[in-house]
Amino acid sequence: MNLTTSINNQIFGTVQCPGDKSISQRVLMIGALMNQEMIVDGFLHGEDPLSTMNALNQIGAGITVDENGLVHLSKRNHVFQNCDEPLNLGNSGTGLRLMLGLTSGIGLNLSFCGDESLSSRPMSRIINPLTEMGANIKSSSGKLPISISTTSLQKQYRYELPVASAQVKSSILLAGLASGSGVEIIEPIQTRDHTERMLKNFGANIEISSVESKNIIQLQPSNKLVAKNYTVVGDISSAAFLIVAALISNSSGLEITKVGMNPSRTGVLEALKKMGANIEVKNQRLESGEFCADLTVKQSKLKGVELTGEIIPNIIDEIPILSIAAAFAEGETLIRDAAELRVKESDRLQAVSDGFRMLGIAHKNFDDGMSILGSSESLCIEEPIFIESHDDHRIAMSFLIAGLKCSKPITVKDCKNIFTSFPNFIELISSVGYKLEK
């Protein structure tokens, strides 16, 4: 599915931020493990969370969705079960990595598969600590297909992350929770902490501390979780596309409600405000252990900035759309320490570079980032331009937003991947004044 942009758009109105993908997947896993009655509101019905739901149901979770989109987890008479058919996680790296930890902790015999993109992504950074913990995992040189077999995990496990990664941390925590093992994880800097917050919300015995700038998470071996209805806050990574759209377009003001404001995720707002973005945060509140708020965004004159060091792990998913903001900011933006982008759904640094080359945006690509020489002027398009999405939802949406600053429509190819994380992107962006044509 190709999408073509339109011109002379003005972004305005009020929209509700779609549910957080990471939280939606985590609450299914922890909820299924608790095996108690529970309703989840605000769940993101995108392909990635639905792949995780299907995988959990394959091992007997019995998760259902009602006509209003509410997710129901019920108390089962049976325990989790082995499955002869591979658990297909589709395009979901989060789903695969966290399910590996959960099912290793439960002690099942299973295999996993995924689509072409997921099958090319390295999983050794998850497999290695889980194997060290006692899991029996076989893979194809650290990639899919992957199989696990029943084994007992260590009663106490300590792991220091060589590279900050919320997915590795969460996978180990879920393995410890499911197996009743005590876990201590040391991360060089704090990464997104949805798993820790969710475990605390359900009553887990978990402690977080800081020693010499390192973040230490300790999960005790004895945990009695108590289920309660859960509300998924909005995904700030999805909101970022709407925010940048309002900042670079002829916007009279856009309000985005129910945006997740987890302190480990708001780096994208810090980066944009550093660039000069006019973003007002209102109605801050707490939902199911997560902070959220409403945002008002207005057209802004942006400037180039340097994005390096500690902020990078907390904006890693937003760097493609931040690169678009940088392309329409005055001066140079420098992004470094982001080599992790090379092993996402695509090589995102190369994918952004390819799109910039098609649009004539001056930039340089480094091993761990890029420099972008921006301009607030719209791009003068002389002939039809087709940009590859590289089968990556964040690349596709980023360049569709870039179309707001092009003098003529551009086409982004193979945009079906958008549905993995933002299933109503086309309808929602249309509702605030930006039409996309299939």
Report, as residue numbers or ranges, the catalytic residues. 317
The CA angle 33-34-37, to the nearest 5 degrees, is: 120
Could you tell me the CA-to-CA distances from 133 to 33, 88, 109, 155 in Å, in that order?
20, 24, 17, 9
- Pairwise CA distance, residues 139 & 145, whole Å: 6
Q: Are 191 and 313 in contact (CB under 8 A)?
A: yes
Residue 48 main-chain phi, psi, to 5 deg: -65, -55
Residues with Cβ within 8 Å of 338's Cβ and at least 6 positions away in sequence, in order, are 312, 316, 319, 349, 368, 369
List of E strands, 161-266: 182-187, 206-211, 214-219, 230-231, 253-260
- CA neighbours closer than 13 Å in the CB half-sphere of residue 205: 10
Give 283: exposed, middle or buried? Use CB within 10 Å, 0-12, 13-18, 19+: exposed
- Pairwise CA distance, residues 303 & 275, whole Å: 5
Q: How many residues does the chain have?
A: 438
Residues with Cβ within 8 Å of 323's Cβ and at least 6 positions away in sequence, in order, are 333, 335, 352, 356, 370, 372, 398
Give 296: exposed, middle or buried? Use CB within 10 Å, 0-12, 13-18, 19+: middle
List of E strands, 189-244: 206-211, 214-219, 230-231
* 306-307 sheet: strands from edge to edge: 306-307, 331-335, 369-374, 363-366
Closest CA to 403 of 384, 390, 431, 424: 384
What DSSP string runs through 281-293? EEEEEEETTEEEE
Q: Are 249 and 435 in contact (CB under 8 A)?
A: no
Q: Are 330 and 302 in contact (CB under 8 A)?
A: yes
Residue for token pair 């005055």: 330
* DSSP at 227: -
Beta strands 87-88 and 110-113 are: parallel
